[in-house]
């Protein structure tokens, strides 16, 4: 192998290691945020599931895919109008939660732990009646 080939291979390996390090840093940061919990997103209540992490915001629920380097959340749902439509037990203490954003809005299927489900319902129920208004 020539000197240029070795140098090119070293650069490729270093770039790959940098991307892997960025991904691990991103996942670590997402999992350590206040109000975050492991949560998978599915097209249907049976899956297939895309692994990720959700985080409660003041007025939105955010969801990031694990298999991504994106700095912004992949999905956002407004807290006002978000309702749990259905819940079913999955194996291993997991719960499939079907939510809807407003009447007739899009349906979202989330797979999470029973503890995360309790937190989600508490967060939804604690929605202030007038978010963003001045008294």
Edge-first strand listing for the sheet containing 107-113: 49-50, 40-42, 107-113, 94-101, 82-89
Given a cut of 60, is residue 134 above it in pLDDT? no
Reported confidence tier of residue 67, pLDDT bands at 50, 70, 90: confident
The rounded percent of the chain whose pLDDT value lies above 90 is 51
What is the SS3 assignment for 98?
Answer: strand
Domains of the chain: 33-125 (2.30.29.30)
- Provide CB contacts within 8 A for 135, sequence distance 6+: none
pTM for the structure as a whole: 0.78
């Amino acid at each position: 192998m020539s000197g240029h080939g070795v140098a090119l291979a070293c650069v490729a390996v270093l770039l790959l290691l940098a991307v892997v390090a960025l991904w691990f840093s991103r996942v670590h940061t997402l999992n350590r945020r206040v109000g975050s919990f492991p949560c998978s997103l599915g097209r249907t209540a049976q899956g297939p599931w895309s692994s990720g992490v959700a985080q409660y915001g003041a007025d939105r629920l955010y969801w990031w895919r694990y298999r991504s380097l994106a700095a912004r959340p992949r999905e956002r749902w407004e807290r006002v109008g978000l309702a749990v439509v259905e819940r079913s037990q999955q194996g291993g203490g997991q719960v499939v939660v079907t939510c809807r954003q407003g009447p007739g809005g899009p349906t979202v299927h989330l797979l999470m732990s029973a503890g995360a489900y309790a937190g989600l319902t508490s967060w939804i129920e604690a929605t202030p009646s007038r978010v963003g208004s001045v008294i």
